[in-house]
Amino acid sequence: MSASNSPIDLAKLVAARRAVDFVESGMRVGLGTGSTAAHMVRELGRRVREEGLEIVGVPTSTATARLAEELGIPLTTLNEAGSLDVTIDGADEFDDTLTLIKGGGGALLQEKIVAAASERMIVIADAGKHVGTLGAFPLPVEVLEFGMQSTRRHIAALLDEADVSGREAVFRERDGARFVTDEGNHILDLHLGRIGDARRLATALNTVPGVVENGLFIDLCDTVIIGHSDGRVEIGDLASGAFTEEHGTGEEGENLFRDIAG
């Protein structure tokens, strides 16, 4: 275990390694985007190399595709795969109903399409992503460039009537320029503080002309795996509504803290 690995990095790694236990040879796997998902992709790559795991992956961003290719994971497109057995991805926030906020990495559109095409969605996260009420993390909304200021005004008017605590809508920037998604769109980050009714807000946002998709993932996540830096994991199951705890070191003494870079 590298001394430079932060507790959050270790928690993400623990969750990612537990999640890939659900992947079996022959599966079509959706590959998420973001720092937590990157740990999962690396671990899948290790299993492909060392265990002969036979899978085909569908990446949710160009960044994930590049990483998977470097690690030797065979890739295909969602059009070619048709449907997926499982998608493993991170989340920016999730609540007890496994409703998510996603899109901090700017890939929410592809992530939602891939999740919706999957028999099962597994979310991996550190404990800090588990919240009682969604909204502390800004809600990303992907919008077309055409008429985007008009779209922003419509969203602002919608938020005036919404059950939220904040109403600031800011176009995301990166390196001093407006952020552009893989699809050539832009991201409005909504600083809401608290979302009282996620389903109603998601429906309302997607009726605004110019909105492509929003970062509320509702009725998509089946399982969440929460990692802890001491090797423990909590697994939340949508069907049962329960969270169960597992210890990170099993009877065979498997070391969950192999070098992150490995």
Token duo for residue 167: 């109403």
The answer to whether the annotation marks 105 as part of a ligand binding site is yes
The answer to whether the annotation marks 102 as part of a ligand binding site is yes
**Which residues are CB-neighbours of 141 under 8 A, at least 6 positions away?**
155, 169, 187, 188, 189, 190, 205, 211, 213, 214, 215
Q: What angle do CA 238, 251, 226 make, to 5 degrees?
A: 30
The answer to whether the annotation marks 182 as part of a ligand binding site is no
The answer to whether the annotation marks 175 as part of a ligand binding site is no
The answer to whether the annotation marks 104 as part of a ligand binding site is yes
The answer to whether the annotation marks 92 as part of a ligand binding site is yes
Strand partners, 228: none
The answer to whether the annotation marks 35 as part of a ligand binding site is yes
The answer to whether the annotation marks 189 as part of a ligand binding site is no
Interaxial angle between packed helices 198-205 and 148-160, expressed in degrees from 0 to 180 and rounded to the nearest 10: 150
Beta strand 177-178 with 242-246 is unpaired
The answer to whether the annotation marks 241 as part of a ligand binding site is no
The answer to whether the annotation marks 33 as part of a ligand binding site is yes
The answer to whether the annotation marks 89 as part of a ligand binding site is yes
Cβ contact 118:86 at 8 Å: yes
CA–CA distance, 11 with 7 (Å, rounded to integer): 6
DSSP characters over 172-223:
-EETTEE---TTS-EEEEEE-S-BS-HHHHHHHHTTSTTEEEESEE-S---E
Active site residues: 111
The answer to whether the annotation marks 87 as part of a ligand binding site is no
Residues at the binding site for substrate are 33-36, 89-92, 102-105, 129
